[in-house]
Structure 1
Amino acid sequence: MSKGKVLIAGSNATAIEVQGGRFGATGQYLNETVVPAMALIAAGYEVVLATPNGTKPHIDPASDAPEHFGGDAAGYQKAKTFWAEDPSMNNVLTLGAAIEQGLENYSAVFVPGGQGPVVDLMTDADMGEILRHFHEAAKPTALLCHGPIAVVSAMPHAREFRSALIAGDEAKAREWAKGWQYAGYRMTVFSDTEEKVVEDYILHAKLYFNMIEALSAAGGKVSKTTVDFEPNVVIDRELITGQNPRSDHPIAAALIEALDRRQVR
């Protein structure tokens, strides 16, 4: 018998705008999606994948490699097979359908990274409604790498906030963020120095804003590791955030621990 359902909110983005008006390929990271999903299932939880338009997320090619599984070729192939064949990764709902079916049926929500959430989930109205539900109910809310940027969607003026960031107007962004549910929360996210590696070697261009700058402008108390790409998970109340791809196993463990704690109440 399932111990409960966890909603995995994925992205449908395939490209991200970079400075100069160009676009770079992006998507959702394979390991950040399947490592926590597989861990949740192994721990007795059911996972349900949902995206803005109800189609399966696009996997960022940069993540489709054994290096993101600690160099474990067998682990990488197991993850690929799970992503390709497991019903939980293929019976995809829209975020709206998840809401209609009743968010009270879910014990937690998890948002994986890759840069996709910066493109769509950050300003998605359904994502915002989902996060507000989990915040108000104090149910575990876990977000990994770029995933934490999705918490911006809980703002009444998420689109205006994002536009102000793109325009480089931090003061205006802070104005739009007033009343944000997660103001004052401790959190982490993919760092500026880690992003520079992606900008230099994958995108070959700069993003319009970095994630720490964005969440700090919103009112978050954002921290990062002193060494890039070291695992890092920050927990504050119901919010569980992981910094980077190597935080996949630690955030899965933290989420399962939070869920199991609620089982024994």
Structure 2
Amino acid sequence: MAPKVLVVLTSYSFIESANAPTGWYLPEFAHPYDVLAEKGIEIITASPKGGVAPLDPGSVERFKEDPSSVNFKATKSALWENTAPISSFLGKSSEYAALFYPGGHGPMFDLVSDKDSIALIAEFVSAGKPVAAVCHGPIVFANVKRADGKGLLEGKEATGFTNEEEELAAMTKHMPFLLEDKLREVGAVFRKAEKPYDAFVLVQDGGKLITGQNPASAKGVGEEIVKAIGV
């Protein structure tokens, strides 16, 4: 039976202060999907609200020359148009090989504080299952506690979309907080690539905690999930 990976997408679709749509970021799901699907891994999707998880239209435009993203959008829409509520997966970590969170700005507004998501991550961690996230995705780990009460990221090397990258994206003033600042605040040892937007992936806990910095890191996160699963 093929291993299953649970992918959690944001339900947040519009940033009022920017007067702009948002959501999850196309290549950050498309690139890992290609890696996982090639290994025969089944992908199941969830979101806080269930139903359609909003795809950031800006990511569609920026990656319109990227074959992986174009093909994924054209052929896999059922994955994000028919998500199940995160709550429906609680207590079922034994059925999945890993948990993965793509980024996009959406998670900064909903998944960071979503009680079901926080409980789901804690459950996977407690079960010894790999948890992974890329770009703004790692913000979902900020409020998660381990069984001993310590923060999941406390003392762990982690990465995600940097303050410099947020500034270059002209989105700093529209964020509720900055991801890099928040991860440092909760005790993470924040690491990043030498240059903004370069690929950078960190693996901790023997493959059980995987973070990627930005869209360019998404494929590498997928590859580390495959290694962690052992397929």
Query: TM-score, normalized by length of structure 2?
Result: 0.90
Counterpart mapping for 1:182-193 below 5 A: 182-193=153-164
Q: Give the Cα separation in 1 of the matches to 2:88 and 2:121.
A: 15
1:114 aligned partner: 104
Q: Distance in 2 between matches of 1:185 and 1:17?
A: 34
Q: Structure 1 residues 55, 153: closer, same or farther in 2, change over 3 A? A: farther
Q: Provide the secondary structure at the position in 2 that maps to 1:81.
A: helix
- Structure 2 residue corresponding to 1:93, chosen from 75, 81, 84: 84
Unaligned runs of 5+ in 2: none
SS at match of 2:150: coil
Distance 2:179 2:173 in 1: 16
Whether 1:221 aligns to 2:214 is no
Write the letter of the residue equivalent to 1:79: F
Please name the residue that 2:4 is paired with.
Answer: 5
Give the alignment partner of residue 151 of structure 2, picking from 167, 177, 180: 180
- Correspondence for 1:30: 26
Mapping 1:111-260, distance limit 5 Å: 111-155=101-145, 179-199=150-170, 203=171, 205-237=173-205, 238-260=208-230
Check the 8 A contact 2:197/2:216 in 1, yes or no. yes
SS in 1 for 2:182: helix
Residue 155 of structure 2 aligns with an amino acid whose one-letter code is G
Equivalent position amino acid for 1:134 in 2: F
How far does residue 133 in structure 1 lie from its aligned partner after superposition?
A: 1.0
Query: CA RMSD for the aligned pairs?
Result: 2.1
CA 1:88/1:15 → structure 2, altered by over 3 Å: closer, same or farther?
closer
Name the aligned partner's letter for residue 179 of structure 2: M
Identity of aligned pairs, percent?
A: 29
Q: Which has the larger radius of gyration?
A: 1
1:206 deviates by 4.4
- Structure 1 residue 205, shift from structure 2 partner: 3.9
Distance 1:96 1:40 in 2: 24
With over 3 angstroms needed to count, the CA separation of the structure-2 counterparts of 1:182 and 1:204, relative to structure 1, is closer
Q: Out of 34, 39, 42, which is 2:38 matched to?
A: 42
Q: Hey, what does 1:15 align to over in structure 2?
A: 14
More helix by share: 1
Give the distance between the partners of 2:24 and 2:178, measured in 1 at CA.
17
Structure 1: runs of 5 or more not aligned: 157-177
Residue 58 of structure 1: SS of its match in structure 2? coil
SS of equivalent to 1:123: coil
CA 1:215/1:78 → structure 2, altered by over 3 Å: closer, same or farther? same
